[in-house]
Amino acid sequence: MANDDFSGASLPSPGTDASRRRVVYFYEPTIGDYYYGQGHPMKPHRIRMTHNLIVHYNLHHRMEIINPFPAGPADIGKFHSADYVDFLESVTPESLHDHEHARHLKKFNVGEDCPVFDGMFSFCQASAGGSIGAAVKLNLRDADIAINWAGGLHHAKKSEASGFCYVNDIRVLYIDIDIHHGDGVEEAFYTTDRVMTVSFHKYGDFFPGTGHIKDVGHGQGKNYSLNVPLNDGIDDDSFRELFRPVIRKVMDAYQPEAVVLQCGADSLAGDRLGCFNLSVKGHADCLRFLRSFNVPLMVLGGGGYTMRNVARCWCYETAVAVGVEPDNKLPFNEYFEYFGPDYTLHVRPTPVENHNSPADLEKIRNLLLEQISRLTHTPSVQFQTAPPVTRVPEQPEQGMDIRPKPRIWTGASEDCESDAEA
């Protein structure tokens, strides 16, 4: 579509980042119909709200739109155990309490944060299918950036659901800016150097309680897991001062053939479950920075529990991906009343204290840069498709942020002992 058909201006990015990227966007039209249950904070309907904004900003004219092919049980089983996949495929709200399924609920950690809901496996298939399709497009060099906002559910383990996540859909250089630690993805690749994981997250008395700065990987994977523990109230400037130098050095040392960015929007200011203070532009700066490397990039969703702000954020990040700057004034759309009273695209930071001192951030940055310098080599691995992701139901979030207290990062040297060293 010609530029004069679009109201936004090109992003004022200097250098190679100013060039246009071939973007594919995966969207399953029924994704917003799935419902986790009354009171559950995970709401798939936010994907539909995001899509609605994308369309009304005319961003869809700048991308190839693909309805993802559902991931089959065999696709999901490439990462997850066969008995877990069989359970997800067969269990329903009606069969939940029969003897065969009831005995597996605890084993697979299904029930509270991750309830059984109508169409659960179909949701998983659509979510995972979008991520697999995105990987295929990038692998075939049919796209520079592939977006699946229904993906990025990063807590699921090989044989259990966790943190609203049923199946795990991610591989390669994986960067996670969700407020919760990307524990499922890290665990999947903790002992290998074929995939490097980098997670920026709230650390302390907070779900899932993992992601200490000295959790660096094991065996062949030592130093290929990077954890960035943060405290409440981190703002755009503080986040950028960590993200850019750390990721720049990772890109230089690891030289990935493809990058996966998990854009969990619960790190935004004012999120229902979050405690960070990022603006939409501050959150999107991570995507803008990675886009500048011109490396195949998969962009996924994740957390985000204030729906109107999730839609704002992912719509704006879609605009960043295609290289335009949308108007802050929202176009009229089916959800217009939800965006009041300002009816604007951007979320303002809130007047809260930033508990991340410059001294602590500098200490974290130096520790991470030192860890990156220990990488022994750059593995030569062809980009592969990722294990699938599943749909998350909706039910009270109790228990998501109420967990046994883990270590709390204070910046002190005694906090730097790993579990293995303790």
Nearest to 184 by CA among 147, 210, 223, 203: 210
H or E stretch including 113? none
| 235 belongs to an annotated ligand binding site | no
Distance in angstroms (rounded) separating the CA atoms of residues 305 and 397:
10
| 113 belongs to an annotated ligand binding site | yes
| 232 belongs to an annotated ligand binding site | no
Radius of gyration of the chain (CA): 20
Place of tokens 């309490």: 97
CB-based contact 126:31 (threshold 8 Å): yes
CB-based contact 179:251 (threshold 8 Å): no
H or E stretch including 205? none
| 33 belongs to an annotated ligand binding site | no
Distance in angstroms (rounded) separating the CA atoms of residues 223 and 219:
9
The backbone torsions φ and ψ at residue 260, rounded to the nearest 5 degrees and listed phi first, read -115, 125
DSSP string, 266-313: GGBTT-SS----B-HHHHHHHHHHHHTTT--EEEE-----SHHHHHHH
Q: Check 40, 56, 80, 155 and give the catalytic one.
A: 155
User: H helices within 323-414, ranges in order?
Assistant: 358-373
Q: In this structure, are strands 173-176 and 196-202 parallel, antiparallel, or unpaired?
A: parallel
In the structure encoding, which two tokens stand for residue 290, read together?
């990675």
Distance in angstroms (rounded) separating the CA atoms of residues 42 and 32:
11
Place of tokens 């991931």: 71
| 305 belongs to an annotated ligand binding site | yes
DSSP code, position 344: B
99 labelled catalytic = no
Distance in angstroms (rounded) separating the CA atoms of residues 84 and 89:
9
| 419 belongs to an annotated ligand binding site | no
The backbone torsions φ and ψ at residue 82, rounded to the nearest 5 degrees and listed phi first, read -60, -40
Distance in angstroms (rounded) separating the CA atoms of residues 212 and 206:
12
Distance in angstroms (rounded) separating the CA atoms of residues 18 and 35:
40
Integer angstrom CA distances of residue 162 from 32, 83, 109, 112, 349: 21, 16, 7, 10, 29
Place of tokens 């990307």: 182
Residues involved in catalysis: 155
Residues within the annotated binding site for substrate? 113, 163, 305
Residues within the annotated binding site for a divalent metal cation? 178, 180, 266
Residues within the annotated binding site? 113, 163, 178, 180, 266, 305
